[in-house]
């Protein structure tokens, strides 16, 4: 089961660099499917379940925005899909299906064949993810050269074409530069070029715009959107910024304490968030309808500590709507009656639209909310 997947994927992708098909056998099965994925770190303080039964599906050409605060498990999810964890301290269970092939059982060698050619990753800080002493062009062509045994000039052509499709106009000039000679936005474009050079089916982007200016951020998000649509790449976009996810993704999944607590079409989740944490996140961000100087609504407390979780809903201790059930029984991710694509895990879901925030305010607590007066 291990070997053929990697090889077959490679061969299959080779012919379609121009990017038409979604890859894999035709049919309704999604490109990426996670089934009850659990990832546990073994630490001195005990076991730390960073992913607690995550299930989701993503089709080719689609963007999934994965939103959550630090420690919610966003990056752990990407690393679990990628297989980047050391097996000695991390246990994983469940299924990570890429085009129907389960990646969880694969050994290092099989994984290496997947990396680049079928799954690729873009990191937050392009300066530290690029090789500082290798020219940009070689870094872009390195992957395809080894996996496809391209010759020097072929590799160069491919690298130039890839740099151009990553939105770099003067590709031949950038080709010979070192990363430190480039601006932050260009570096991130180069990192994206490296990721797509071997025409992967799945691109995992971990906070790709967090260290960039708004104007550059808009360009990089535009690029990701273009790549997904034109090359039929499935993109998982991890971000802490709800607005970034909302504006770029088809689907949004909100994570809290290692679980997905709400998931649905971006427009739906933003307009009618059901889960109280999602609603609170939207309300806490400064928005156009707030008057300057207006106090922001606040989520009291801090993000949950995964080592010390309440038995019920992990958000319950910070939630103004929590009752006895929330504190004792964990809600599951369930679909809404009106919309089967929208799921949320909440015992006391919201019914209001987000346009005019209303309803009882979040529980105000002096210790976190305002200076004692």
Partner 1 sequence: MSDLPPEKTHSDGAATAVLSVTDLVVELPLGLQRKVHAVSGVSFEIGRDETLGLVGESGCGKSTLAKALVRLVSPLSGKVLLSGQDVTRARGKALRSLRRNAQLIFQDPISSLNPRRTVLASLLETMSIWSTGDSDRAVRLLEQVGLDPSLVANRLPTQLSGGQCQRVSVARALSLSPSLLICDEPVSALDVSVQAQILNLLQDIREHHKLATLFISHDLSVVRNISNRIAVMYMGKLCELGSANEVYYRPLHPYTRLLLDSVPGLRSAGTGEPHAAGAPSAVNAPSAINPPTGCRFHTRCPFADDICSLQAPPMLEITPGHAAACHHPLT
Instruction: Give the footprint of partner 1 on this chain (CB under 8 A).
Output: 69-70, 167, 169, 183-184, 213-226, 240-244, 246-250, 252, 265-271, 280-282, 284-288, 290, 292-299, 302-303, 366-373
For partner 1, the closer CB: 223 or 333: 223
For partner 1, the closer CB: 44 or 151: 44
Q: Which of 172, 168, 206 is nearest to 185 (CA)?
A: 168
Cα 148-232-215 angle, rounded to 5 deg: 105
CB of 272 to partner 1, least distance (A): 11
CB of 302 to partner 1, least distance (A): 6
For partner 1, the closer CB: 158 or 281: 281
CB of 275 to partner 1, least distance (A): 14
Q: Which of 52, 53, 71 is nearest to 302 (CA)?
A: 71
For partner 1, the closer CB: 63 or 199: 63
For partner 1, the closer CB: 89 or 365: 365
CB of 44 to partner 1, least distance (A): 16
For partner 1, the closer CB: 267 or 329: 267
Residues forming a β-bridge with 343: 263, 335
CB of 267 to partner 1, least distance (A): 3
CB of 22 to partner 1, least distance (A): 18
Residues forming a β-bridge with 66: 238, 253
CB of 62 to partner 1, least distance (A): 11
> Are residues 48 and 234 in contact, defined by beta-carbon separation less than 8 angstroms?
no
For partner 1, the closer CB: 134 or 243: 243
- How, if at all, do strands 259-265 and 343-344 pair? antiparallel
CA dist 259 and 278 (Å) reads 13
For partner 1, the closer CB: 106 or 195: 195
CA dist 306 and 314 (Å) reads 9
Query: Distances in Å between the alpha carbon of 237 and those of 228, 248, 293, 358, 372?
Result: 11, 9, 32, 30, 39
CA dist 193 and 224 (Å) reads 11
Contacts of residue 106, defined as CB under 8 A and 6 or more positions apart, other chains included, come to: 2, 5, 6, 83, 114
Tokens in use for 82?
């990628």
CB of 174 to partner 1, least distance (A): 11
For partner 1, the closer CB: 308 or 367: 367
Cα 277-280-282 angle, rounded to 5 deg: 110
CB of 249 to partner 1, least distance (A): 8
What kind and span of H or E run contains 369?
Answer: helix 366-369
Query: Distances in Å between the alpha carbon of 117 and those of 111, 145, 233?
Result: 10, 11, 12
């Amino acid at each position: 089961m291990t070997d053929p997947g990697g090889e077959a994927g490679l061969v299959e992708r080779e012919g379609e660099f121009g990017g038409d098909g979604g890859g894999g056998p035709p049919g309704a099965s999604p490109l990426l499917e996670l089934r009850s994925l659990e990832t546990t770190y073994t630490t001195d303080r005990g076991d730390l379940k960073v992913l607690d039964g995550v299930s989701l599906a993503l089709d080719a050409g689609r963007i999934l925005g994965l939103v959550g605060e630090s420690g919610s498990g966003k990056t752990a999810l990407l690393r679990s899909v990628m297989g980047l964890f050391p097996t000695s301290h991390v246990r994983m269970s469940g299924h990570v299906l890429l085009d129907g092939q389960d990646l969880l059982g694969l050994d290092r060698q099989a994984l290496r064949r997947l990396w680049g050619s079928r799954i690729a990753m873009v990191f937050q800080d392009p300066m530290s993810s690029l090789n500082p002493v290798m020219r940009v062009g070689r870094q872009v062509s390195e992957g395809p050269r080894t996996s496809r045994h391209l010759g020097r000039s072929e590799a160069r052509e491919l690298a130039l074409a890839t740099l151009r499709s990553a939105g770099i106009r003067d590709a031949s000039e950038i080709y010979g530069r070192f990363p430190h000679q480039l601006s932050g936005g260009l570096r991130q474009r180069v990192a994206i070029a490296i990721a797509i050079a071997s025409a992967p089916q799945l691109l995992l982007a971990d906070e790709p715009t967090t260290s960039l200016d708004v104007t550059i951020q808009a360009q990089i998000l535009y690029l990701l959107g273009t790549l997904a649509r034109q090359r039929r790449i499935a993109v998982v976009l991890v971000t802490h910024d709800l607005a970034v996810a909302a504006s770029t993704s088809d689907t949004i999944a909100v994570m809290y304490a290692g679980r997905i607590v709400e998931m649905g079409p971006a427009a739906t989740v933003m307009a009618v968030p059901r889960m109280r944490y999602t609603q609170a996140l939207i309300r806490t961000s400064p928005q156009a309808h707030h008057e300057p100087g207006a106090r922001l609504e606040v989520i009291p407390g801090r993000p949950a500590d995964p080592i010390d979780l309440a038995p019920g809903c992990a958000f319950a201790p910070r939630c103004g709507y929590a009752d006895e059930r929330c504190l004792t029984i964990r809600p599951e991710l369930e679909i809404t009656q009106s919309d089967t694509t929208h799921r949320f895990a909440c015992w006391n879901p919201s019914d209001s639209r987000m346009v005019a925030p209303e309803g009882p305010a979040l529980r105000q607590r002096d210790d976190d909310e305002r200076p004692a007066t």
